[in-house]
């Protein structure tokens, strides 16, 4: 197994930095399936369970994966970030997939998104042209954005300063991102009805949500289930008791739930397990 840092030139914005994890680096990549893992807000490619999940995919299923830093969120990908700029993130995802396909010959097998990454991957699948992708995994994803304002705590800062400076520790360093009333409104008014109107009909999907999630309440998982169960493709909802928005180290969940679900909907690919790093 190997890990390689990749820099992707991006016509839609800044160069994108990610990690390509290969289960069998001695074998050609052309035609191989690939899993893409997309992180949450103000986070990075190795946040939370992402690295463990990539390792499990490689060792238990012999699958390659790519995880990358979204623009302007504190990782290695630079650029400008605003709370409601989901279209920019979806454009970047499109660039990532095009590069991995043209350079390595991969075809995307599964998209996995955590929180904001769930919104971005769902938007991409619903509104961007792409080759068929078999599976979508939505972890801690938000559905009803309007409820966001009910718990918003920075109104006083907006009244006083016209903005709020959000200080967050990302990848071991403190970063500051400025929120404005417009950016918050854009986020709260985000229309994700594309999940109803144009999400792929045949794709099999998994939603995993922590029952104790206080950032995106568990009702969002049920909303996804209701909508995505109307299609031809299957939708599985797994609510995990006691789990919060960012889950709990050592991240047995959501990793075990994802691996178990993939094992059911997509039996072990040829080659199976490989040696660990």
Residue 58 has a pLDDT of 96
CA distance 136 to 125: 9
Q: Tell me the pLDDT of the chain (277 aa) as tens digits.
A: 999 999 999 887 899 999 999 999 999 999 999 999 999 999 999 989 999 999 999 999 999 999 999 999 889 999 988 888 999 999 999 999 999 999 999 999 999 999 999 999 999 999 999 999 999 999 999 998 877 766 666 667 777 788 888 888 888 889 888 888 888 888 888 999 999 999 999 999 999 999 999 999 999 999 999 999 999 999 999 999 999 999 988 899 999 999 999 999 998 754 455 444 4
The set of residues, in sequence order, having a beta carbon less than 8 Å from that of 220 and lying 6+ positions away, is: 141, 142, 143, 144, 209
* Cβ 221 vs Cβ 207: under 8 Å: yes
CA separation for the pair 123, 74 (Å, rounded): 22
* Tokens standing for residue 54: 């990539």
pLDDT value for 269: 55
Dihedral sign, Cα of residue 41, residue 49, residue 266, residue 102: positive
- Measured distance CA(230)–CA(181) in Å, rounded: 35
Neighbours of 11 (CB within 10 A): 8
């Amino acid at each position: 197994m190997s890990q390689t840092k990749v820099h992707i030139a991006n016509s839609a914005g800044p160069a994108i930095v990610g990690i390509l994890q290969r289960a069998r680096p001695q074998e050609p990549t052309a035609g191989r399936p690939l899993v893409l893992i997309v992180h949450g807000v103000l986070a990075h490619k190795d946040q939370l369970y992402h690295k463990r999940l990539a390792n499990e995919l490689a060792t238990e299923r012999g699958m390659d994966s790519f995880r990358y830093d979204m623009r302007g969120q504190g990782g290695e990908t630079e650029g400008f970030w605003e709370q409601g700029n989901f279209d920019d993130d979806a454009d970047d995802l499109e660039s990532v997939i095009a590069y991995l396909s043209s350079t390595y010959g991969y075809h995307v097998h599964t998209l996995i998104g955590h929180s904001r990454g769930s919104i971005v991957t769902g938007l991409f699948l619903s509104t961007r042209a792409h080759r068929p992708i078999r599976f979508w995994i939505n972890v801690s994803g938000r559905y009803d954005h309007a409820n966001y304002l009910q718990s918003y705590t920075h109104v006083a800062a907006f009244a006083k300063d016209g903005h709020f400076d959000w200080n967050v520790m990302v990848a071991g360093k403190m970063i500051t991102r400025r929120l404005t009333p417009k950016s918050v409104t854009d986020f709260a008014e985000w229309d994700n009805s594309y999940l109803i109107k144009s999400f792929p009909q045949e794709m099999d999907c998994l939603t995993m949500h922590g029952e104790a999630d206080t950032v995106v309440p568990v009702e969002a998982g049920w909303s996804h289930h209701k909508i995505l169960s109307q299609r031809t493709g299957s939708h599985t909802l797994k609510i995990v008791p006691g789990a919060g928005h960012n889950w709990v180290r050592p991240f047995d969940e959501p990793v075990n739930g994802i691996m178990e679900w993939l094992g059911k909907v997509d039996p072990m690919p040829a080659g199976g397990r490989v040696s660990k790093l």
